Structure 1
Amino acid sequence: MAKDTPAAGRPEPEKTEKITVNLGIVDLGEIDLLVQEGFYANRTDFIRSAIRAQLATRATAVQQTVVRRTLQLGNHHLSRADLEALQAAGEMTEVRVLGLASIADDVTPELALATIASIEVLGAFRASAAVKAALRSRIL
């Protein structure tokens, strides 16, 4: 089982997503000052800490919403075998994930369309460009 963070303390690349944040120059200057004074290792460290602090203040609301919306928390991977089993059973699945949802690279657009009724992902969704294009109308 993979660890959430490697020995260096940084998140593993496959478990992170890059985002862009626009900040005012005064805010950025204050962050740089805190970094220079040794409170944080760098800007990214400050931003991650701030985000985690905000998420902690709303942890109960997040948990209640996960339960209410029946979201799977964490990573959810669909392999070709998973989807072929659904197809053989004549079933379809609804993917509802808070975290990472991924579909194996060897899944064809046709198989995805035959077995995935809808996809709701709060976080990141990884699949081939062809599968994403085929499922576009089913992504909530």
Structure 2
Amino acid sequence: MTQSSAAAGSIAKAKPADSEKITINMGYVDLGQIDLLVAEGFYSNRTDFIRTAIRNHLATHGDALKQVVARKMLVLGLQHFSAGELEALRAAGQRLQIRVLGLASIDPDVTPELAAATIETITVLGALHASAAVKAALAGRIR
């Protein structure tokens, strides 16, 4: 999906980011060591080092993570909910128990009333992308 230019005057539906920004505080010595590794060409930049370190650390816990994901019945990756899907659930009298490890996204055109009528509980380990109104309507159901 592409975004229209501002000069064209149209606004395209924004593509969800494939990552979430985090902020960390580090000691000066640790940061200096990272900068030294970057300067020596081991990593392209600080972010490259940090992402690599996190991935390597997660890999050491891979088996434990797989077991917990299976035990908690989490969807791994991206789970997206459109207004049409939620309308169909409401018409069928069904409600969702959303469990995601990754990104759960609810379309911007989903009303707070529709979300409240169709989403029983929501557990997201990662990020939840939804309008502020939908998040407010689900506040008591988000775990």
Find the counterpart in structure 2 of residue 29 from structure 1.
32
C-alpha separation between the residues in 1 aligned to 2:16 and 2:106?
18
> Displacement of 1:110 after TM fit?
0.3
Q: Does 1:133 align with 2:136?
A: yes
Normalised to the residue count of structure 2, the TM-score between the two structures is 0.88
Q: Does 1:57 align with 2:60?
A: yes
Find the counterpart in structure 2 of residue 99 from structure 1.
102
C-alpha separation between the residues in 1 aligned to 2:73 and 2:121?
14
Aligned to 2:77, what secondary structure does the other structure show?
strand
- The share of aligned pairs that are identical, in percent, is 64
CA separation of 1:55 and 1:103: change in aligned 2, threshold 3 A? same
Which 5+ residue runs of structure 1 have no aligned equivalent? 1-11
Aligned to 1:130, what secondary structure does the other structure show?
helix
Tell me the number of residue pairs that the alignment of Structure 1 and Structure 2 aligns. 129
> CA offsets, 1:51-81, max 9 Å, x none?
0000000000000000000000110000001
1:87 corresponds, among 82, 85, 90, to 90
What root-mean-square deviation, in Å, do the aligned CA atoms of Structure 1 and Structure 2 show? 1.1
> CA offsets, 1:110-135, max 9 Å, x none?
00000000100001100001000110
C-alpha separation between the residues in 2 aligned to 1:75 and 1:122?
11
> Displacement of 1:13 after TM fit?
7.1
Aligned to 1:14, what secondary structure does the other structure show?
coil
